[in-house]
Amino acid sequence: MDTPLIQEHRAAGARLAEFQGCVLPEVFSDFEKEYHAARHSVALFDTSWHAVLVLTGRDRVKYLHAITSNNIQALSEGSGALALLLNPQGHILAELEIYLQPEKVLVRTHVSARERAVAMLEKYIIASDVKIADATETTGSLALEGPRAAAIIQQACGLAIEDLPEMSIRDVAIEHIRCQVLRRSHFGTTGVEIVARRDWLPSLWQKLLGGIRAHGGEPIGMAALNALRLEAGVPWFPVDFNDSMIPHEAVLENTHISFSKGCYTGQEIVERVRSRGQVNRKRVSLKFSSAAPPLPGTKLRADGADVGYVTSSAFSPAEGRAIGMAYLRREHFTPGSAVEFEGGTAVVLPQAGS
């Protein structure tokens, strides 16, 4: 699927690449320039890798509460949450962002999980008053994040995003373009996403591009975004977790799951793993000895045995070397544990937020 901003990216000379089914800019000009703009000013980036679903009907909130892993009924209008769609074996079929609005619910997932998410969400509608509309083909999104993001959004539409909790949604207009602002961080700083009709997104991009450059910011590609999110310990679906993992292995139980909400598909497995208190493998963050990032799938070894594999990696300007995420066997979870790979060694980092 092409982003609705593909012509803007081509005109800017961006190098394009496929990201899990969506063609997006990998780099616009210079990786480190883009990285430092995000860290010290503001970054503008394309997030049109989302599938977008709109749920209406009297039972829309109750239904999502019953089928997903988080407590959707506890949300108030204008707020949102991360959740998972699980199969009966507890494996992760899709990551969802769920936002409650007047008369509807906005649900976003990765475009690669679109068909699976729609099929599962429709499967259990029997007597419930719920309608699901797939708005992916008509919707796109972009994001602003960094120390100057709040000032730019305030100037663009008058919204004080620093007063909003994470995962909030607000309807706004930016120079007469109707859109939705999501308070959403991609690499742990002040950030928003702007969701709009695909045919309006190029105009929004150009309007915001002038604003970010006035503040010393830059458009950034997926290479810089990947490094930033790995530094923040933010996993990506379906890169760092997918349908071969359960939530505890992917370390999502504190962000995507409610343990007090009651039954949902896969809940029995989730609760059983929690009560036993351990899994045999787990997602970890790593710091590598080399500057060159090892490829996804690179085997990790300890004491001559395979103990895991890399899921994603990038050169980190902050660390001066490569960092990444991987799955390791239980005996190697501990921060500070060392493993080997072809080309060097790696050390397990503390989990983000720990």
Q: Which domain CATH number covers 126?
A: 3.30.1360.120
Indicate whether 33 and 157 sit together in one domain.
Answer: yes
The pLDDT score that the predictor gives to residue 354 is 46
For residue 353, what pLDDT is reported? 53
Residue 45: the pLDDT is: 98
Q: Does residue 166 share a domain with residue 32?
A: yes
Whether the ω angle into residue 238 lies within 30 degrees of 0, i.e. cis, is: yes
Do 251 and 332 have their domain in common? no
In angstroms, the CA 99 to CA 182 distance is 9
> 305 CB contacts (<8 Å, ≥6 apart)?
none
Q: How many domains does the chain have?
A: 2
Residues 250 and 328 occupy one common structural domain: no
Whether 323 and 200 share a structural domain: no
Together in a domain, 12 and 149 = yes
Phi, psi angle pair for 337, to nearest 5°:
-65, 140
Q: Are residues 166 and 208 in the same domain?
A: yes
Is 121:67 a contact under the CB 8 Å cutoff? yes
pLDDT digits (tens, 9 = 90+) for 312-330: 999 999 999 999 999 999 9
C-alpha span between 88 and 218 (Å, rounded): 44
Last residue of a domain, one of 244, 279, 314: 279
Give the range of the structural domain holding residue 187, as residue numbers without chain letter: 1-279
Report the interhelical angle of 149-157 vs 201-214 (nearest 10°): 120
Residues of the chain predicted below pLDDT 50: 354
CB 48 within 8 A of CB 41: no
In whole angstroms, give the CA distance from residue 195 to residue 135. 11
Here the contacts of 25-31 (C-beta below 8 Å, separation 24 or greater) are: 25/219, 25/221, 25/222, 26/221, 26/222, 26/223, 27/221, 27/222, 27/223, 27/224, 28/218, 28/219, 28/220, 28/221, 29/218, 31/223, 31/224, 31/227, 31/315
CA atoms within 13 A on the CB side of 269: 16
Residues 109 and 256 occupy one common structural domain: yes
Same domain, 38 and 180: yes
Radius of gyration of the chain (CA): 20
Both 185 and 254 in one domain: the answer is yes
Which residues lie closer than 8 Å to 12 by C-beta, 6 or more apart?
Answer: 25, 28, 219
Q: How far apart are CA 106 and CA 170, in angstroms?
A: 12
Q: What pLDDT is attached to residue 103?
A: 96
Shared-domain flag, residues 293 and 274? no
What six digits make up the tokens of 136? Answer: 């992916």
